[in-house]
Amino acid sequence: MKLLMFYTKEWWYKTASKTLETAPDLDIEESMPDAVVIFFHCEAEDESRADSVREKFVKNAKWLAGKFSSRNIVLHSFNHLSSSKSSPEFAKQLLDDVIIRLERTGYTVMQTPFGYFNEFRMHVAGDSLAKVFKEF
Q: Are 97 and 7 in contact (CB under 8 A)?
A: no
The radius of gyration of the chain's CA atoms, rounded to the nearest angstrom, is: 14
pLDDT at 79: 83
pLDDT at 81: 85
Distance CA 42, CA 79 (A): 8
For 20-128, list the strands marked E by DSSP.
29-41, 72-77, 108-111, 116-124
10-residue averages of pLDDT along the chain (136 residues): 98 96 94 98 97 98 98 93 92 96 98 94 97 97
- Could you tell me which CATH number the domain at 2-127 has? 3.50.80.10
pLDDT at 75: 98
Q: What number of helices (H) and strands (E) belong to the chain?
A: 2, 6
| Angle 58-64-66 from CA coordinates, rounded to 5° | 95
Domain ranges of the chain: 2-127
CA-wise closest residue to 84 among 39, 40, 54, 44: 44
pLDDT at 80: 83
